Copies of this chain bind each other. A is one copy, B any other.
Amino acid sequence: MVERYALSPMKEIWNQERTLKRWLEVELAVMSAYEELGIIPAGSSGSAEKNALIDLNLFKEYEEQTDHEVIAFVKMATSRMGKEARFFHYGLTSSDVIDTALSVTLVESCNILLDQMKKLLKTLWDLSITYKYTLTIGRTHGIHAEPTTFGLKILNWYSEMKRNYERLLFAREQIAFGKISGAVGNYANVPPEVEELALRKLNLKPSPVSSQIVNRDHHAFFITVLALVASAIERIATEIRHLQKTEVLEAQEPFKSGQKGSSAMPHKKNPILCERLCGLSRIMRSFVYTALENNVLWHERDISHSSAERYIFPDATQTLHYMLVKTDYLLKGLVVYEENMLKNLDLTRGLIYSQRLMLELIKKGMSRNEAYDLVQNLSLRCWQTGESLKDLSLKNITVLSEEEIENIFDSQYYIKHVDEIYKRFKGE
């Protein structure tokens, strides 16, 4: 993971000590289940918990000896135990521990992401309320189309983020599976009841049928949802980069006092955070392919997914966490130039009202083709001469009264349904 993009509390989730502790949790949950079922002596899990050792140096030493993480872990964990050590890791295969612990970690990371998304949703909602009626030009193909409000732009982001929140909830449900089912998933040396009890303690469901591991479709689905969230952020960041362009300047990302935009050009305020977010979204996308490839393992498991997962799980969760935190900061400090929005709205001298003009002509009885041609013609003259479309209409159109023409060139007309749109989100 790139250190500068690793933020607390996500960062800590992935350090090695935390990983070993989570393995221990799984082992203890299993012992306690055995105990509850009367398979091992009462008190074993209590003693194990008391005597278990987590010591990173010792772990590394053992790992070097054995080239096997779990054997090293068991050796370390039991090094100070008494006879309860016999029932530690009893009947288990490495993956029972590792894979179940991984699910605990992923659920935990998911919760952090959901929390952060909730904050971002609130920020988006508040911002959409602030600019609910703020007129701005809607652009399609990068070209001025029709007036809309800045609030609606933000509400659109809010709405997508809400969908993503629901997708992530669904993904969390899908990732919350563990397995304590032995080397090939047949429960040969550990009965299904142990799995059920142990996983309940860890807030996981049993994988209904597992191989040596929990199937990787669970994980792949999780990763694709993260990439989808990232692309929503990329869309926001891309919009702001556009709005911050010198010629547009309708919005600007926050600029820390003391921050320098460029070593060469002191006046420059660059949307570097937005650009950074766009780059990070590319990274998030790249994890999806790997996660999908990892789903196709040989037989009852091959371990080829493991090296790849050492990159993608810590990187994907931490990178998205960073993105969510920074997007919240970005939007909370967003500088909005409403006056420039109004100025830009008038940039085409009324051409943006052309569709409405056409529709009013049709209402007056013109055919669609006639109306289209007339308006296209006037638009061209407006474009070429600099005269406003309103003035040209007043001079050249007779089927509409002056008042009717005045009404057509009224930007309020375009935002008359804003309240109805917002009402769809009532209760937020």
Q: Are A292 and B227 in contact (CB under 8 A)?
A: yes
Expressed in whole angstroms, the minimum distance between the Cβ of A261 and any Cβ of chain B is 8
Q: List CB contacts (< 8 Å) of A43-97 with chain B.
A: 65-68, 70-71, 74, 85-86, 89-94
Q: Are B221 and A228 in contact (CB under 8 A)?
A: yes
Q: Are A290 and B282 in contact (CB under 8 A)?
A: yes
Give the CA-CA distance A342 to B57 in the complex, in Å.
Answer: 46
A187 to chain B: which residues have CB within 8 Å? 416-417, 420-421
Give the residue name and chain of the B residue nearest to A300 (CB).
B138
Select the stretch in A110-118, A273-281, A327-335, A399-407 that faces chain B. A273-281
A153 to chain B: which residues have CB within 8 Å? 300
A418 to chain B: which residues have CB within 8 Å? 186
Give the CA-CA distance A276 to B311 in the complex, in Å.
Answer: 12
Expressed in whole angstroms, the minimum distance between the Cβ of A59 and any Cβ of chain B is 13
A281 to chain B: which residues have CB within 8 Å? 296
Chain B proximity mask over A289-307: 1 for CB below 8 Å, otherwise 0: 1101111111111111111
A308 to chain B: which residues have CB within 8 Å? 279-280, 282-283
Chain B proximity mask over A240-276: 1 for CB below 8 Å, otherwise 0: 0110111110000000101111111111111110011
- Which of A189, A268, A307 has the most B CB atoms < 10 Å from its CB? A307
Give the CA-CA distance A129 to B245 in the complex, in Å.
Answer: 28
Give the CA-CA distance A257 to B191 in the complex, in Å.
Answer: 34
Task: Using known A-B contacts A239-B299, A267-B348, A295-B231, determine if residue A188 contacts B413 with beta carbons closer than 8 Å.
Answer: yes
Task: Using known A-B contacts A247-B245, A303-B270, determine if residue A289 contacts B292 with beta carbons closer than 8 Å.
Answer: no
User: Which one of B270, B311, B355, B414 lies within 8 Å of A141 (CB-CB)?
Assistant: B270
A70 to chain B: which residues have CB within 8 Å? 263
Q: Are B192 and A420 in contact (CB under 8 A)?
A: yes
Give the CA-CA distance A270 to B167 in the complex, in Å.
Answer: 34
Expressed in whole angstroms, the minimum distance between the Cβ of A229 and any Cβ of chain B is 9
Q: Are B266 and A209 in contact (CB under 8 A)?
A: no
Give the CA-CA distance A250 to B352 in the complex, in Å.
Answer: 20
Give the CA-CA distance A66 to B376 in the complex, in Å.
Answer: 14
A134 within 8 A of B: no
A238 to chain B: which residues have CB within 8 Å? 296, 298
A409 within 8 A of B: no
Select the stretch in A29-37, A101-109, A157-165 that faces chain B. A157-165
Task: Using known A-B contacts A268-B143, A304-B275, determine if residue A263 contacts B148 with beta carbons closer than 8 Å.
Answer: no
A415 within 8 A of B: yes
Expressed in whole angstroms, the minimum distance between the Cβ of A305 and any Cβ of chain B is 6
User: Which one of B146, B174, B256, B286 lies within 8 Å of A290 (CB-CB)?
Assistant: B286
8 examples of A-B residue contacts, CB within 8 angstroms: A66-B259, A138-B185, A142-B244, A170-B170, A186-B418, A209-B424, A266-B372, A286-B290
